[in-house]
Structure 1
Amino acid sequence: MIFFYYLLLLVCVLISVAFVTLLERKVLGYIQIRKGPSKVGLFGILQPFSDAIKLFTKEQTWSFVSNFFLYFFSPVFMFFMALFLWVLMPYSVGFFDFELGFFFFLCIISLGVYPMMIAGWSSNSKYALLGSLRAVAQTISYEVSLALVLLSLMIFLGDYSLYVFIEFQTSFYLIFFFYMLSLIWIVSCLAEMNRTPFDFAEGESELVSGFNVEYSGGGFALLFLGEYSMIILMSSVTVILFFGGDLSLVFFLKVCSLVFLVLWLRGTFPRYRYDKLMNLAWKSILPFTLHCLFMYMGFKVLLE
């Protein structure tokens, strides 16, 4: 039964990813005073399915000088890592009871840099390699701040499981106590997901399309699915950490609000400069999160 539940979950995630792409195109359309997709189906509701058919039936091309085995399996591995993280979610059907759930979360997202790096390197294209190097440097830099924010929360609650966060926030949301850390968490999530204004892995003006420039058809679709499923996953984790993760319709609405925020930021903010992104990570966010970590450790020692 657990396998059936998890298979059902994966189907729901993939359908959600399809409609997140439609939502993004609609939101960007109305921000830019245009309609967005409106031809395929009623109000463009079938557009994601036509896009999926188009991508998976297009000719799969590859470079003759690429390292074919690594080049071919990098999108598959990236897609698998994005879906594998969903076993962490504390569902009422109870797939897995992770006592060290946050350490599992950090381990899996840290593995996410490898498919990006290998996809860029194995393409044997200088633009893909530069895009992958930028993506890896950015991801590693902001994973440090994500880990420090999580450590502060874990020290405060004295546990490493997502279930404890849900039980603790039945009457009090942690965002009221960790307001600044929640803002840093959201900024770090945007950088971790390579979303605007931190989408430097796909800087069209200098890198064409970043590490995925040599991919087409199904390979590009898998990279695309992995990226958008991470948006939904990070929004869900953010809700559980700071907004109370009661698995109900309210939880669904909170996740949708955060996904909408990510899409809204894409429509309103220009791309940041890469050196400023690194300065923000190492000179501003890292010292602040370290201070918060030591402060909460001190509070914990004094209270005990």
Structure 2
Amino acid sequence: MNEYVPLILKVVLALIIFHMILGLISYLIMLERKTAAWIQDRIGPNRVGPKGLLQPIADGVKFILKEEFIPKHADKVLFILAPIAILTPAMCGFAIIPWAGELAAGTRLPDWLPLLGGYEFTGNWPVVIMNSDMGVLIVLAAASLATYGVVLGGYASGSKYSFLGGLRATAQMLSYEIPLALSLMAVLVVSGTLNLNNMVNSQAHYFGGWLPAWNIFIHPLAFLVFIVCIFAEANRTPFDLPECESELVGGYHTEYSSMKFALFFLAEYGSMITGAAVMVALFLGGWHLPWLDKLIYGGTQPVAGGWGDVLLKFGVFWGKVIAFLFFYMWVRWTLPRFRFDQLMNLAWRGMIPLGLGTLILSSFVVYLEKQAGLKYAPLWICAGNIAIFVITLIVLKLMPAGQKNKRVFLPNSRYNPQLSRAVPAK
């Protein structure tokens, strides 16, 4: 029986994380509505339950009771598969997230647990569903697979608005996956591993005894590129062109209703949580608690610990994730959306060159460190990131401005720009 205990624990951890995320998504929607109300000086949902806390339950019941409708010209099979195809990759990304460090060897499971009670770990046990040495590649693969669900939803609906939304989403997601991968590779070159658990462990110390050795301080430009890309991958404002109401009614999910429509919402917020969790693990030290660890542990926070240590790390990790999710919402209700040409220019003329520059810089510094014994490599990489950003701003300032919007010739129209003055309407 003992040989199956680690596998059973992985299954239990997967169930706990999955149900936590489903519950969190429900209240994230409410938090978004409250955030919008706060920014717009409104009250927000406050009718269902005390302070509106039961609003997510009411929303869920409403979605379940809505009519299921499949358009006459839709491809029925693909129409049903699309929400599943977009939700599955969003949920798969959680498997490789290191949530709470490692349980130390010698830790025992409580005796009151049925079947598992009294089991003692013979080695450190990472609190991650799948501790894979290809973790970052799995993240990129899951992000790529989400494109298929969007394409299916747009194509199968038999609507021009859905189809145009699907085309926009495909172009946007494919364009921003390139700088996303480049920013990740810049971090991977320095870390020397694709395992997210090992990457978090490598950040659990300090530079100079006071500055956390987080990748945000080593790769600030890669962090900026990564944030922009995960906003675009999740189709969040100001990158919500695939579903902008003023142009495409509802985008690629215009024809969906009831729980099929709710699955698209679950996928969007699931992608937000995945992106935030990966960002925390890659750039913000994961479960590392800066400065306070010296008060709690009397020194640097250890990678492995007992049950109390794991629960503390779990809370720290989720605290960082929820803080960044609030940042998602703050940006959504603060910034206007781009035009589509601006969105694509930002990817191909902005994010991709910056991501490529950070990758070349990191590779060059690591090469000098290995071959020529270069000291203070993280400091050189940080300085190089800042230099690339400043140089890019200067170059953009000196480049000639692009062609501005101009009025189109409209034959027989009183708005014809070639007329010296507008002809008054009859």
TM-score by length of 2: 0.70
Q: What is the distance in 2 between the residues matched to 1:104 and 1:250?
A: 24
Distance 1:248 1:10, change over 3 A: closer
1:294 and 1:9 mapped to 2: Cα distance?
37
Q: Show the counterpart of 1:66.
A: 74
Distance 1:286 1:232 in 2: 24
Residue aligned with 1:163, SS: helix
Greater shift in the superposed pair: 72-81 or 273-282: 72-81
Contact 2:96/2:128 (<8 A) preserved: no
What is the rounded CA distance, in whole Å, between the counterparts of 1:59 and 1:164 in structure 2?
48
Q: Which residue number corresponds to residue 270 of structure 1?
A: 336
Hey, what does 1:18 align to over in structure 2? Answer: 26
Q: 1:87 aligns with which of 78, 88, 95?
A: 95
Q: How many angstroms apart in 1 are the aligned matches of 2:319 and 2:17? A: 18
- AA aligned to 1:194 is N
Deviations 1:68-123 (A, max 9, x none): 00001110221122111111112443422110101111111101100000110001
Aligned residue among 229, 245, 248 for 1:204: 245
Is the aligned partner of 1:289 residue 2:355?
A: yes
> How well do the aligned residues superpose, as a CA RMSD in angstroms?
1.0
Matched, 1:138 2:163: no
Distance 1:175 1:250 in 2: 17
Q: How many Å apart are 1:42 and its aligned residue?
A: 0.8
3-state SS in 2 of match to 1:268: coil
**Cα distance between partner residues in 2 of 1:158 and 1:137:** 31
Q: Deviations over 1:148-188 (max 9, x none)?
A: 00111100111111012111111211111111211111111
Q: Does the aligned pair in 1 maintain the 2:221–2:358 contact within 8 Å? A: no
Q: Which of the residues 220, 224, 236 maps onto 1:183?
A: 224
Q: What is the CA-CA distance between 1:126 and the residue it aligns to?
A: 0.4
Structure number with the bigger relative contact order (C-alpha 8 A, sep ≥ 6) is 1
Q: How does 1:116-135 map to 2 (within 5 A)?
A: 116-135=150-169
Number of aligned residue pairs: give it. 304
Q: For residues 22-41 of structure 1, what are the structure 2 equivalents within 5 Å? A: 22-41=30-49
Q: Which residue of 2 aligns with 1:45?
A: 53
Measured after TM superposition, the shift of residue 40 of structure 1 is 0.4
Residue of 254, 272, 282 corresponding to 1:213: 254
Deviation of 1:3 after TM superposition, in Å, equals 2.2
Regions of 4+ moved over 3 Å: 91-94
Amino acid at match of 1:176: F
Amino acid in the other structure paired with 1:89: I
The code of the aligned residue for 1:97 comes to: N
Output the CA distance in 2 between the equivalents of 1:211 and 1:94: 34
1:108 aligns with 2:149: no
1:257 is aligned to 2:323? yes
Structure ID, larger Rg: 2
Q: What displacement does 1:37 show? A: 0.4
CA distance in 1, matches of 2:72, 2:12: 41
1:96 maps to 2:126 = no
Structure with the higher helix share, 1 or 2: 1
- In 2, distance between residues paired with 1:173 and 1:296? 15
| Rounded Cα–Cα distance in structure 2 between residues aligned with 1:6 and 1:168 | 25
Question: What CA distance in whole angstroms lies between the structure 2 residues aligned with 1:178 and 1:152?
Answer: 8
CA distance in structure 2 between the partners assigned to 1:97 and 1:179 by the alignment: 27
Query: Over residues 243-297 of structure 1, what are the superposed CA-to-partner deviations in whole Å (9 max), with x where a residue is unaligned?
Result: 1111432222111110000000111111111101100100111111111111111
